Structure 1
Amino acid sequence: MGRNLQSRVRLRPVDLARGHGLSTQAVRNYEEAGILPAADRTPHGYRTYTPLHAGALRTFLALVPAHGHRTATAIMRAVNEASAEEAFRLIDESHAQLLDDRRTLRAVESALRDLEPAAGSGAAGESGPQGTFIGPLAGKLGIRPATLRKWESAGLVHPRRDPRTGYRVYDEAAVRDAGMTHQLRRGGYLLEQIAPLIAQVRAAGGPEPLEATLRDWHGRLSARGRAMLTGAAELEAYLRQLG
C-alpha cells in the first residue's frame, strides 16, 4: 500500500486495540510514549490512525519478546524520530547481550562438567590467586556491590575476608557462583530457587542435578533468538512503510 493511500485510510483507537488484544488506553499510552507516530485529530479532537500506526504497533509488539519492553520502546522512538542508526545500535546491544548469555551458559555447563567436590572450599581460596574485590566483580557483572552482599546473606556467594583489611575477596569459585546467580536472576529465578542450585553446583561434581534448569535456559535463549528474527522482519517492514 502506497504512503498516500495509507494516509487516507482512517482507523479508530478501538480498531488498533481490538486487532492486538489491547485496550484503547494502551494504544493512547503507546502513542504518548513515542512508540506510535503522533495521530491526527478530527475536528472534534478524536484521534485517527492509519495503517502506518498499525504497522508501528505490530512492530513494537514483535520487538518486546526479543528486546524487552524498555529497549523495544527506545527502538520505536528512535525510528519514529528518524534516528534509525540509534535503533540499530540498540538492536546490536541486544544481540551482543544474547551472545554473552549464550557464552555464560556454556561457561556454566563447562564449570559443572569440570567441577570437583572440593571446588569452592576455603582452602582452595587461600592457596590460590588473590581473587577479586567486590567493586570490580560488581562492575564486571553490571550490578551494585549491595546486590553481591545480598547474595552473600542468602548463602549464594561465599567470599573470604582479607585478614589485613577485612575486605571481601572472591576467589574463582565465588566468582563462578556470583556469575551463575546473576544469570539465573536475569532468567527470572528467585533467590530461594537459586540457592539449592548453587548448593548442587558446589557438591554435585557434575551437571546431572541441573539438567532440567539448563534445558530451560537453552530453551529461553533459543526463544529469544527466534523472537529477534521476528522482530527484525517486522521492523524492516515498518521501515519500508516509513519510506
Structure 2
Amino acid sequence: MRTVDVARESGYSVQQVRDLERLGVIPPAVRSDNGYRSYTALHVHALRAYRGLAGAVGPVEARRLLAELRTATIEEAAAAVDGVHARLAREREEALRAQRALQGIQAEEDGRDDDPMTITQLAEALGVRSSTLRFWEQEGLVLPERVTTLRARRYGPAAIGAARVVAALRAGGYGIPAVREVMGSLDGRDGLEDARRILRGRLDQLAARSVALLRAGADLAAVVTAVDAMRGTPGPPE
C-alpha cells in the first residue's frame, strides 16, 4: 500500500501518517529502491488502534502502549489492554462515589443552619480528623476564618460548604491535585452545584473514552494477533 492509500483507509492525512511513523506509532514502512514507502494492512490497523487509544488514554500513553504491544506476547498484550479497561472503570467508580457523596451533602445542606463551626465541630460533622482540615487548609482547599487572640479557627458557611465538597471528592478517591483543580473551578456562590456539574462532565468524558477504546478493539486485536503470528513465523534458513 502507498502512503496515500494508508491515509485514506485510516482517516489520517499523508503527513500525519509520516509523522506517526516517525513517532513509532506504526512500524517503519518498507522502502523500495526508489525510496517510496510500502505499507501493509497492519499499518492501517495500528493507525486506527492509535486513534481509539489516544481518545481513551491520551496520545502519549497510546504511543507507549502500541510500542509495548508490538513486542509483547499475546497474553501480555491482552493484559495491557485489560489494564486500560480497568483504569477507566476505576476512574468511573471514583466519580460515581463522589457524586453519591455530593447528593448526601445536599440532603444535609437542606436541613442545616448557617451557624459557623469550630474545627472540632466541622471535623465531627464530616467524619474526618481536625488534622485533616488543617492539611486541607495548608493545601488551600478550605480557608477558615480566624478569631480570638489564640487564633482559633472558625468556619463560616462558605468554608463549611467547601469542606463538604472536598470531603466528598476525597471520599470518591480524588487525589489532592485533582481536588484542587475542581475547587479552583467552583463558583463560590454555588459550589455544590458546580461540583455536581463538573462530576457529570467527568462521567460524560469517561463514557466517551470508553467508547473510543471499544472502537479500537478490533484493530488492537488485529495488531496483537499479527505480531503474534510474525513471532511464530520461522526465519530464513542459515
**For residues 25 and 184 of structure 1, do their structure 2 counterparts lie closer, same or farther at Cα, with a shift above 3 Å needed?**
farther
Give yes or no for the alignment of 1:195 onto 2:180. Answer: no
**Aligned position for 1:182:** 178
Deviation larger for 86-95 or 224-233: 86-95
- When Rg is computed on C-alpha atoms for both structures, the one with the higher figure is 2
Please give the secondary structure, in 1, of the residue aligned with 2:186: helix
Please give the secondary structure, in 2, of the residue aligned with 1:158: coil
Give yes or no for the alignment of 1:223 onto 2:205. Answer: no
**Aligned position for 1:44:** 34
Give yes or no for the alignment of 1:237 onto 2:222. Answer: yes
Please give the secondary structure, in 2, of the residue aligned with 1:19: helix
**Aligned position for 2:126:** none
Please give the TM-score of this superposition, normalised by the length of structure 1: 0.63
Higher relative contact order (CA 8 A, sep 6+): 2
Give the aligned length: 201
Give the superposed CA RMSD. 4.1
**Aligned position for 2:46:** 56
Structure 2: any 5+ residue segments left out of the alignment?
A: 124-128, 152-161, 230-238
Q: 2:70·2:224 contact (CA, 8 Å) conserved in 1?
A: no
**For residues 160 and 17 of structure 1, do their structure 2 counterparts lie closer, same or farther at Cα, with a shift above 3 Å needed?**
same
Q: 2:77·2:224 contact (CA, 8 Å) conserved in 1?
A: no
Please give the TM-score of this superposition, normalised by the length of structure 2: 0.64
Residues 136-176 of structure 1: per-residue CA shift (max 9 Å, x gap): x8xxxxxxxxxx95xx3xxxx21559989xxxxx9665443
**Aligned position for 1:158:** 142
Partner AA of 1:130 in structure 2: S
Structure 1: how far apart are the matches of 2:32 and 2:13? 21
Q: 2:30·2:38 contact (CA, 8 Å) conserved in 1?
A: yes
**Aligned position for 1:143:** none
Partner AA of 2:204 in structure 1: G
Query: Once the 2 structures are TM-superposed, how far is the Cα of residue 49 of structure 1 from its aligned partner?
Result: 0.9
2:59 pairs with one of 41, 46, 69: 69
**Aligned position for 1:108:** 98
Structure 2: how far apart are the matches of 1:48 and 1:234? 20
Query: Once the 2 structures are TM-superposed, how far is the Cα of residue 51 of structure 1 from its aligned partner?
Result: 1.5
**Aligned position for 2:5:** 15
Structure 1: any 5+ residue segments left out of the alignment?
A: 1-10, 138-147, 165-169
Q: What is the aligned-residue identity percentage?
A: 26
